[in-house]
Amino acid sequence: MLTLAGHNVNAVSVGGLETCIELPNYKLCFDIGRCPPSATRLPTVLFTHAHTDHMGGVIHHCATRDLTSMPPPTYVMPAENEEAFLEMMTAWRKLDRSPLPCTVVPASPGGSVDLGRGRTAKFFRAIHRVPSIGYAICTQKDVLKDEYKGLPREAIRDARLAGEAITTPVETVEVAFCGDTTIDVVDREPLVRAARLLILEVTFLDDKVSVEKARAKGHVHIDEVVERADLFQNEAILFTHRSVRYGNEWAEARFKEVLPAHLWERSTVLPFAAPWT
């Protein structure tokens, strides 16, 4: 378990093979390529796109929750995937001869879903070879207006009792996850640049795959992150989804070598775990 910008993150991500990013404190995860046992306890899954390394584990997630009498899950996914996903669930219900209950929420850029307790997942367009949605988890809190800060407690209480609006809602972008995407999402989306924790794919780390080829595949090349190093306002960045060809030690050294110090000091390179090491 990692703790980044105050958020607990349980993540596995290997390009083309599996991705699942769990945020246990928010009771949700992003994508389920293969379903880790810990993810079955999370009732909400925000799917970025329907490639099997991001959605292939959904039946295991749904069936395990059903089997263990947990409430039916909610699956948020690009609106373009809804119809085929429902057809797939119908087929699995026939195969499994079980109800496999779940709720499907279609997501389009600019939309959002209420997560309860002042939390919202906002949707933005990620740029990949198939329809893709990125997610920004935002929290809203009421904070004291500037003009009341520093006043004695009694004065603030009196103002509140007199019916004055002493607080104002403030929204914080806590976590952004882009799924598989080209780097353009960083240029286009303020939510991505502002999130306290950004989880960003960087699939290719050297010249064996050029920047042009990485873009054509719908992925990020490390050189493109270096070019934009000054854009990232994030407190912490977790780099995920690299190709299995880059081992843990080499990848860590590569990021450290090419990223400017002001970015590297906020960066974490997600290590591979077994069986991918």
What is the contact surface with Zn ion in residues (CB under 5 A)? 51, 53, 180
Cβ proximity to Zn ion, 138 vs 179, nearer residue: 179
User: Based on CB atoms, which residue is closest to Zn ion, 11 or 115?
Assistant: 11
In terms of CB distance, is 73 or 218 closer to Zn ion?
Answer: 218
Which of 174, 180 has the CB closer to Zn ion?
180
Q: How far is the CB of 180 from Zn ion (least distance, A)?
A: 4
Q: How far is the CB of 264 from Zn ion (least distance, A)?
A: 24
219 φ, ψ to 5°? Answer: -130, 175
Nearest CA-CA partner of 62 in 51, 48, 47? 47
Q: Closest CB to Zn ion among 180 and 224?
A: 180
CA distance 21 to 221: 21
Nearer to Zn ion, 16 or 43 (CB): 16
At closest approach, how far in Å is the CB of 208 from Zn ion? 18
Q: How far is the CB of 49 from Zn ion (least distance, A)?
A: 6
Cis peptide preceding 169, ω within 30 of 0: no
Cα 51 from Cα 43, distance rounded (Å): 21
> Kind and range of the H or E element at 238?
strand 236-240
For residues 19 and 31, the answer to whether their CB atoms sit within 8 Å is yes
Q: How far is the CB of 137 from Zn ion (least distance, A)?
A: 20
Pick from 144, 140, 136: which is nearest to 116 by CA? 140
Residue tagged 């000091």 (tokens): 265
For residue 225, the minimal CB distance to Zn ion (Å) is 17
CA distances from 184 to 7, 126, 215, 235, 261 (A): 26, 8, 10, 20, 23
Query: Residue 201 and residue 221: Cα distance in Å, rounded?
Result: 9
